[in-house]
Amino acid sequence: MVPFPGDARRRLDSRTDEELMLLAAGGSEEAFEQLVRRHHARLARYCGKSVGSAAEGDELAQETLVRLWEARRDYQPRAPFVVFMLTFARNLCRKRLRDSGRRGRWQEEAPQAGLESVASPASADVVDQLLAREQERRVREAMMALPEKFREVLLLRFDQGLDYAEIARVVGRSEATLRSRVFHGLKKLRASVSGGRP
């Protein structure tokens, strides 16, 4: 049974996330699998950055998807599906950090390419590449050192690309509060990365 009269032939890959979730709520595993294909990588990246571990991020993404499937019948498209999904992910990430007694840490799960790959004949400037890697490392460490209230809004805003209204739905705070947190979070991040220099 398709809840969208007149477009039964429309392929799943051309449906919106909200339509797919409504189909999943009606029992369509295929519709939910399409959502998984669309959002798993994004979800794993968000979770990994939230808890500071790519492996844990993937595990939390899987757990989020299981929870979404279990809650599919309760879904109401009052907000974009991605807001619904990231709310589940946020809660699971916060619980994981709280239960483990940590605020988060960054672990480089994938081995970094060694100097030999940077020094290939195709690379224009080895020093610039090494400096860029060092800067990325400092930013990751500074992000994980931020208080959670700043880190989560920065991730949702800049990594996930949510607007302030969507972030407000995910974290349950006003847009004004979130704008303030982004401003102060960026200020703290800049100070940390620059070693306190303006």
Residue 108 lies in a domain: no
Q: Looking at the structure, do residues 94 and 122 belong to the same domain, yes or no? A: no
- Per-residue pLDDT of 128-187, as tens digits, reads 777 777 777 788 888 888 998 999 999 999 989 999 999 999 999 999 999 999 999 999
Between CA 129 and CA 135, with CA 130 as vertex, the angle to 5 degrees is: 95
Among 54, 83, 103, residue at a domain's last position: 103
Is residue 6 very low, low, confident or very high in pLDDT (cuts 50, 70, 90)?
very low
Mean pLDDT, range 62-67, rounded to an integer? 96
- pLDDT score, position 197: 59
Which CATH number do you get for residue 94?
Answer: 1.10.1740.10
Does a structural domain hold residue 188? yes
pLDDT of residue 4: 55
Q: How many domains are there within the chain?
A: 2
Question: Do 17 and 50 fall within a single domain?
Answer: yes
- If asked whether residues 18 and 95 sit together in one domain, one would say yes
Token pair of 5 as six digits: 């009269």
- Pick the range with the lowest mean pLDDT from 23-27, 47-51, 70-74, 132-136: 132-136
- The predicted model gives 58-87 an average pLDDT of 93
**Residue whose entry in the numeric block shows the structure tokens 């991730």:** 155
Give Cβ neighbours of residue 14 (< 8 Å, ≥ 6 apart): none
Distance CA 42, CA 82 (A): 10
- If asked whether residues 168 and 89 sit together in one domain, one would say no
- The beta-carbon contacts of 184-187 under 8 Å, at least 24 apart in sequence, are 184/150, 185/146, 185/150, 185/151, 185/153, 185/154, 186/154
- Give the residue with greater pLDDT, 64 vs 129: 64
Do 34 and 99 have their domain in common? yes
The boundaries of the domain holding residue 97 are: 11-103
Does residue 5 form part of some domain?
no
Q: For the ranges 18-22, 122-126, 155-159, which has the lowest average pLDDT?
A: 122-126
Length of the chain, please? 198
Distances (CA, A) of 57 to 38, 85, 92, 95, 142: 17, 14, 10, 13, 19
Would you state the pLDDT for residue 47? 95
Residues 99 and 119 in one domain: no
Residue 119: what pLDDT?
Answer: 43
Percent of residues, the chain, with pLDDT higher than 70? 81
Calculated CA dihedral for residues 90, 77, 162, 140, nearest 10 degrees: 20
